[in-house]
Amino acid sequence: MKNLLKFTLIFITIVLISCNDDKIEKLEYSGNIECNNLIISSQSMGKIEALFSDEGDIVKIGDTLAIIEHEKLDLQIVQAEAGKNAILAQIKMLKVGARKEDKNLADESLKQAEANYEVAKANRNRMNSLFESKSITKKQLDDANLAYDIANSMYNSAKQNVIKSKSSRPEQIEQLNANLEQANASISLLKKSRNDCYVTSNISGQIVNRFIEKGEIVTYMTSLFNIIDLTKAELTIYVPETELAFIQLGQSVNINIDAFDDKSFPGTISFISPEAEFTPKSIQTKDERTKLVFATKIKIDNPDKILKSGMPADAVINLAD
């Protein structure tokens, strides 16, 4: 029994030693450097009026790269602003009210209408009395009543004119305010369209491709420039499922480039795919392409911009650290 126990202990020791000898100290993967690039597309339609940048130029965020003609938009903006000013003038006139001369005229018209009304009223009353005494005909009474009705209507109309001349008209002002909002919205939309005619860079970087020429007609979403930001490099590697347990987000990685034998670039694991996939077809051997792997992205600092898109690179993850 003791001999069996000794044999067992010796066997376990041998297994442990073997396991220690087979311990993985580092993982190595290969891929190609990728840099952040952006296609600048047109947000407007028209002829390229001016070009300010060419392939190879270094640009910053906000730099104007090209201008698309916008003369028609300029005229539309002028027209829309003139319409807006006309609305503002109408609102001001309604709020201020009629001119002094118009107010005086309305008052005089009211006095005259009131006098005519009183005369017609008195004449109607007199004609009613005469008709009752059979001193006038029915037609004469009807004429007196008609004259009274006309005078009364004109008197009421004159009173309304006086009221309107001395106060603003809320319903008209409300409608004009709605028209003003619509005019402001139209002007904002036109100015937005004009601003879209100025093609600007959304990133800082270097122009790799210029797809258009001065005088060329472009449509909406036409590709104009391809800009690459070399300060943000990235390497995508594919980790087999058997090695997935050895990597984690934020883990440090050393990047080796064939063109720089004496230099290693620091990187950090920024993304690990949550889904397995077959090794991409770009991997050479058929055996490798049938393995399940997890796409993993490594961010690499590239302040000197010496790393370029497409450079072959090796990622080394030291597990002994």
Q: Is the dihedral of CA 41, 44, 48, 50 positive or negative?
A: negative
- Confirm if 59 and 210 have CB atoms less than 8 A apart: no
Q: Rounded to 5, what percent of the chain is helix, strand, coil?
A: 45, 30, 25
Mean pLDDT of 295-315: 91
**Which domains, ranges and CATH numbers included, belong to the chain?**
25-37+230-318 (2.40.30.170), 46-69+195-224 (2.40.50.100), 74-192 (1.10.287.470)
User: pLDDT digits over 114-126, tens only?
Assistant: 888 898 889 889 8
User: pLDDT digits over 42-55, tens only?
Assistant: 999 999 999 999 99
Is the per-residue pLDDT at 284 higher than 70? Answer: no
Instruction: Please report the pLDDT score of residue 229 as a whole number.
Output: 92
Instruction: Please report the pLDDT score of residue 49 as a whole number.
Output: 96
Which pTM does this prediction carry? 0.64
b/e 136-150 (16+ beta carbons within 10 angstroms → b): beeeebeebeebbee
* pLDDT tier for residue 178 given thresholds of 50, 70 and 90: very high
User: From CA 94, how far away is CA 303, in angstroms rounded?
Assistant: 64
Q: What are phi and psi of 70, to 5 degrees?
A: -145, 25
* 3-class secondary-structure state, position 187: helix
Dihedral (C-alpha) 246, 250, 254, 259: value to the nearest 10 degrees?
120
User: From CA 245, how far away is CA 256, in angstroms rounded?
Assistant: 23
Which single residue is written with the structure tokens 């003003």?
180
User: From CA 133, how far away is CA 288, in angstroms rounded?
Assistant: 127
H helices, E strands: number in the chain: 6, 13
What is the length of the chain?
A: 321
Nearest to 296 by CA among 22, 27, 4, 6: 27
